[in-house]
Amino acid sequence: MNIRGSTALVTGATAGIGRATAIALARAGAHVIGTGRDPQALAAVRDATGGTSVTADLADPADIERLAAAALGRAEPVEILVNNAGIGWEGPFAAMPPDKIDDLVAVNILGAVRLTRALLPQILERGRGHIVNVASIAGHVGVRDEALYAATKAALLTFSEGLRYEVQESGVRVSTVSPGVVDTEFFARRGSPFRRRRPRPIPPERVARAIVHAIERNRDEVVVPGWLRLPIWLHGVWPGLYRALARRFG
């Protein structure tokens, strides 16, 4: 899809991957609508992209409706939707606070699904558009101490896969972009740092480039960095070996 001249709605645009993506899409010629909860950070993204913004809490269905109404009411309708907002939680699942369970499901999966549902009919009507769902390597393989986080990302991957078939005749495309570890505030916000030696964190701008690339080249599934396809592949073809290695090396 040609990004120039299109309108793109980016969730989680106030920080990390979303902010980098908003800027990358603006550089590629899109009008960017950024969304998030932090009004100051949204204003900064608006300045950086020359676009617009809508403050919304994706855990709140009423806010999603308001955000969707603002997007649907524009003279230039949204053609690109980047469902990027997400939160994490790390620790043994038996100790996970119930309110965190609700938060993760609400933002990571329900938020993306509800927003997609609200915007998709208009995108389909125009017969041109691209939905990018930001998942995670965790959603492909499952990760110890991040069981629910990984499950929300797996749900997003499977949702995207089904939706892709549904809209394939319409000119609308669906991509997933699954990052490994990215150097953002994600870990500070979830309350625990990234402690493993591998995979090494990559800058959010690299993920933003992958998202732009997925839209321009119509890629179904992007993993960034690319070498992380190897563990995903091994998990698929030889799960026993993958699990033995994962138990041993984490």
Ligand X SMILES: NC(=O)c1ccc[n+]([C@@H]2O[C@H](COP(=O)([O-])OP(=O)(O)OC[C@H]3O[C@@H](n4cnc5c(N)ncnc54)[C@H](OP(=O)(O)O)[C@@H]3O)[C@@H](O)[C@H]2O)c1
Residue 112 in contact with ligand X, rule: CB under 6 A: no
Residue 113 in contact with ligand X, rule: CB under 6 A: no
Residue 116 in contact with ligand X, rule: CB under 6 A: no
Q: Rounded to a whole number, what is the largest CA-CA distance in the chain?
A: 55
Token reading at 112:
């993306």
User: Contact letters (x/-) for ligand X, 72-111, by CB under 6 A?
Assistant: ------------xxxx-------------------x----
Residue 134 in contact with ligand X, rule: CB under 6 A: yes
Number of chain residues interacting with ligand X (CB under 6 A): 28
Q: Helices 147-167 and 112-126, interaxial angle, to 10°?
A: 10
Which listed residue (57, 79, 90, 221) binds ligand X by CB under 6 A? 57
- Only one of the segments 64-72, 74-82, 182-190, 227-235 lies at the binding site for ligand X (rule: CB under 6 A); that segment is 182-190
Amino acid at 211: I
At residue 47, φ and ψ (nearest 5 deg) are -65, -40
Considering the complex, state which of residue 7 and residue 84 has its C-beta at the smaller distance from ligand X.
84
Considering the complex, state which of residue 127 and residue 191 has its C-beta at the smaller distance from ligand X.
191
Site for ligand X in 151-180 (CB under 6 A): 179
Please report which residue ranges of 28-146 form alpha helices under DSSP H. Answer: 39-49, 61-72, 98-104, 112-126, 137-141
User: Contact letters (x/-) for ligand X, 35-54, by CB under 6 A?
Assistant: -xxx--x-------------
Would the CA dihedral through 59, 61, 63, 68 be positive or negative? positive
Residue 34 in contact with ligand X, rule: CB under 6 A: no
Residue 186 in contact with ligand X, rule: CB under 6 A: yes
Considering the complex, state which of residue 7 and residue 152 has its C-beta at the smaller distance from ligand X.
152
In our burial notation (b when 16+ CB lie closer than 10 A, e otherwise), range 25-43 reads: bbebebbbbbbbbeeebbe
Amino acid at 18: G
User: Contact letters (x/-) for ligand X, 221-240, by CB under 6 A?
Assistant: --------------------
Q: Which residues are catalytic?
A: 149
Would the CA dihedral through 7, 8, 9, 14 be positive or negative? negative
Amino acid at 221: E
Token reading at 161:
């896969």
Residue 59 in contact with ligand X, rule: CB under 6 A: yes
Residue 185 in contact with ligand X, rule: CB under 6 A: yes
What Rg value do the Cα atoms of the chain yield, rounded? Answer: 17
In the complex, the residues that contact ligand X under the rule CB under 6 A are: 12, 14-18, 36-38, 41, 57-59, 84-87, 107, 134, 136, 179, 181-182, 184-186, 189, 204
